[in-house]
Chain A
Amino acid sequence: MKKIMMYTLSTCPWCKKSKNFFTERNIPFEFIDYDKASKEEQQKIREVCSAHGESIAFPFVIIGDDVVVGYNPQKYMKLLES
């Protein structure tokens, strides 16, 4: 199974929906709430976002080697099945 990592915000409803998407399917994932993270962690997350040409927008979902920015169940599903 592909490893899933999510960068999220505790204030973002789409981040909650993304977490729910994986939880409801019993798909394990890890996440870090950017706004609750340490300054060092925040800096690392910003670097990851920038490296992918993205702004600091959430949810930032890493499925295996692929990245989906935003709540997009169709894309999550497609990447999980590929």
Chain B
Amino acid sequence: MDAEKRKQKLREMFQRVVDPLGYKFSPDEEIVDFLLEQEVMLEKEHGHPFCPCQGLTGDRELDMKIVCPCIPFHRAHFDAMKRCWCGLYVHKDVEDPYSLVQISRSEFEQMQKEGKV
């Protein structure tokens, strides 16, 4: 399957997974296209469409938690940002993805401690 077709296939598959979780593809089509392209490449190289913005460790258990869509493994963190880490997905009510900022894991944990999320 060529890269374009695989990209389209992943898009269809991912849509079915993220929709019930309350997420949609980012309205920024350019970013979506770029990220899916990277995922097709990562799948070809490493066997799975890993998140293009998180690093592989070689530990299978950890690495499987960053296979796209990785929302279920980071649900509370991503919900707090209203986006996933790489920004491929945003909450369904988000119209401007650039209004959202990435919150690191340690910042998120601090917010949890302070009861802000």
B42: nearest chain-A partner, CB-CB: A11
B106 near A14 (CB under 8 angstroms)? no
Q: Is the CB of A9 within 8 A of B102?
A: no
Distance between Cα atoms of A71 and B109 in the complex (Å): 18
Interface size on A, residues (CB 8 A): 23
Contact A52 B34 (CB under 8 A): no
Beyond A11-B41, A14-B87, is A71–B102 a contact (Cβ under 8 Å)? Answer: yes
Q: B108 to chain A: closest CB distance in Å? A: 10
A6 in contact (CB, < 8 A): no
Q: How far is the CA of A42 from the CA of B57 in the complex (A)?
A: 8
Residues in B45-100 with C-beta less than 8 Å from chain A: 52-57, 85-87
A interface footprint on B15-48 (CB within 8 Å = 1, 0 otherwise) = 0000000000000000100110010011000000
With most chain A CB atoms within 10 A of its CB, the pick from B55, B87, B103, B109 is B55
A30 at the interface (CB under 8 A from B): no
**Is the CB of B104 closer than 8 A to any CB of chain A?**
yes
Instruction: Tell me whether A56 and B54 are in contact in the complex, defined as CB-CB below 8 angstroms, given that A14-B87, A14-B102 are known contacts.
Output: yes
Chain B positions within 8 Å of A45 at CB level: 55
**Smallest CB–CB gap between B94 and chain A, Å?**
16
Chain A neighbourhood of B56, CB < 8 A: 35, 56
B105 within 8 Å of A by Cβ?
yes
Chain B residues lying within 8 Å of A12, measured Cβ to Cβ, are 38, 52-53, 86
**Do A72 and B52 have beta carbons less than 8 Å apart?**
no
The 8 closest A-B CB pairs, nearest first, are: A70-B102, A69-B104, A11-B52, A56-B55, A53-B106, A11-B38, A12-B53, A55-B105
Q: List 23 A-B contacts (CB under 8 A).
A: A9-B52, A9-B55, A11-B41, A11-B42, A13-B31, A13-B34, A13-B86, A14-B86, A45-B55, A52-B106, A53-B105, A54-B104, A54-B105, A55-B105, A56-B57, A57-B55, A57-B85, A57-B104, A57-B105, A68-B104, A69-B102, A69-B105, A71-B102
